[in-house]
Amino acid sequence: MSGARSKLSTRGRGLLAAIALGLVLTAWSSHAQADDREERFSRASAALDKGDTATALLDLEALADRGVLHPDVAYSRGLAYAMRARSPSAEPGDLGRAAEGFEEALRLRPDDRDAEQALDLVHAEVARRRARMDKNDTVVRPSLDRVLVTTLSPVAWVILAIFASLLLAFGLLARRRERRFVRIAGKVLVPTSLVALAVLVPAAAMSRSLTETRREGVVIVPEIGMRDDDGQPTTAPDIPESTLIEVGERRNDVLLVRWGSYEGWVPAESVRVIAQPHPEG
């Protein structure tokens, strides 16, 4: 009996030791990853200070490839591309990639003033270069549906729709009550909440659909022309570099994009999608 107990306790100790080892390894691995992240970032920053954009980009792109989502990493990546864009080793699309880095930094930390200023400078440089090439860029504004739907978050639209639904329920019940003012309130609430639902439910559904199926991306080539489903050029003007666009589904080597009210297909390699944190819930 005591032998069995001692055997059990030996097993239990072994299990505990294994769990402890696993926890230690996990913590060590996480710590090592954080260390590696810090080290790469510091190295990239030092290289940027020296003007060595190639080395800096190696580390910063490696961090991006590992899925590191940090506004400082995105900002430094944008900075590295912007610096390379004005150097002799500039490559086509550098300004677009720089804009993408700053956009990502702003998505992660909306109050990042440096990123905002740098993004404005990149846009100014793109405009300057295009003006030199006699390119007249069309001002393209987002379509009204996008403006309305993106005013609130999908969750806010859903909550508003549910609130309107609750008002409708209350109105339906109140219409049958004896008290006069309650009855009148019910008679007013029912049509009002129905109208509100007619607006809020489609807005909530569209907002949710956009969140699930669309991402944001930045044009990283000097300019791209949209093509329709048959591969024929559309009437949409060419999209200039560093433009923020809406990115939809991908089919082989082409991406469905929306720019203002224009929609069409563009080569996948001409757009870099802005990374976003995974949603909760």
Partner 1 sequence: MRSPRSSSRRAVARVIALFAMLFAFALLPQFASLARAAGGITASTQASGTMVEVDQPFTVTLELDSDESIGPVTSPSFDPPAGVSVRGPSFGMSERTTFTNGVATRVASARISYTLVASAPGKFTFKSPTATAQGRSWSGQTVTVEVVPQGSGPGAGVGPGPTPFFLPTPGFNDPFTSRDDEEAPSARDLELQNAPDDDYFLHAVADKQAAVVGEQITYSVYLYFRVSYEMSERSDPKYADFLRFPILTDPASTKSVYTRVNDKRYGARLVERVALIPLNAGKLHVGTMSARFKGRQIGSGVLRQSNDVEVDVTEPPANGRPAGYVVGDVGQYALTASVSPRKVAQGGSVSVSVRIEGVGNVPSEIKPPVVAGAEWLTPHRKDDLTIKDGRVSGSRTLEYVVRLDRAGKLDLGTLELPYFDPTSNQYEVAKVALGPVDVDPTTPTDADVKRAQNKDGDDPLARLPHTRPRLTAFAPARPLTLPPWALWGGVAVPPMFALFLLGLGRARRAAAVRRGAPAAAARAKLREALGDAKAAEKAADAKAHLGAIERATHLAIELGTGVKSRGLRLDEIEPTLIERDVAPAVAKEAAELLSQCDALRFAPDDGEIATKDLHSRAVKLTKKLAP
Give the footprint of partner 1 on this chain (CB under 8 A).
37-38, 41-42, 45, 48-49, 69-73, 75-76, 79, 82-83, 85-86, 108-109, 114, 117-118, 121-122, 124-125, 128-129, 132-134, 153-155, 158, 161-162, 164-166, 168-170, 172-173, 176, 197, 201, 204-205, 208, 211, 253, 276-281
DSSP for 84-98 reads HHTSTT--TTHHHHH
Q: How far is the CB of 130 from partner 1 (least distance, A)?
A: 9
Q: Please identify, using beta-carbon distances, which residue of 219 and 260 lies nearer to partner 1.
A: 219
Q: How far is the CB of 277 from partner 1 (least distance, A)?
A: 4
- CA angle 83/88/94 to nearest 5° reads 45
Q: How far is the CB of 165 from partner 1 (least distance, A)?
A: 4
Sign of the dihedral through C-alpha 269, 273, 278, 281: negative
Q: Please, what's the b/e burial string for 246-279 (b: 16 or more CB within 10 A of its CB; e: otherwise)?
A: bbbeeeeebbbbbbbebbbbbebebbbbbbeeee
The CA distance from 80 to 94, in Å, is: 9
Decide: helix, strand or coil at residue 141.
coil
Q: How far is the CB of 229 from partner 1 (least distance, A)?
A: 14
Is beta strand 215-219 parallel, antiparallel or unpaired with respect to 239-240? unpaired
Residue 257 near residue 248, CB atoms below 8 Å = yes
Q: Please identify, using beta-carbon distances, which residue of 247 and 260 lies nearer to partner 1.
A: 247
Q: Please identify, using beta-carbon distances, which residue of 3 and 88 lies nearer to partner 1.
A: 88
Single out the residue of 155, 70, 60 nearest to residue 107, CA to CA. 70
Q: Please identify, using beta-carbon distances, which residue of 9 and 117 lies nearer to partner 1.
A: 117
Q: How far is the CB of 46 from partner 1 (least distance, A)?
A: 8
Q: How far is the CB of 207 from partner 1 (least distance, A)?
A: 10
Q: How far is the CB of 55 from partner 1 (least distance, A)?
A: 13
State the chain's maximal CA–CA distance in angstroms: 93
Q: Please identify, using beta-carbon distances, which residue of 119 and 260 lies nearer to partner 1.
A: 119
Decide: helix, strand or coil at residue 92.
coil
Q: Please identify, using beta-carbon distances, which residue of 109 and 227 lies nearer to partner 1.
A: 109
Q: Please identify, using beta-carbon distances, which residue of 173 and 184 lies nearer to partner 1.
A: 173
Residue 217 near residue 96, CB atoms below 8 Å = no
Single out the residue of 267, 89, 222 nearest to residue 81, CA to CA. 89
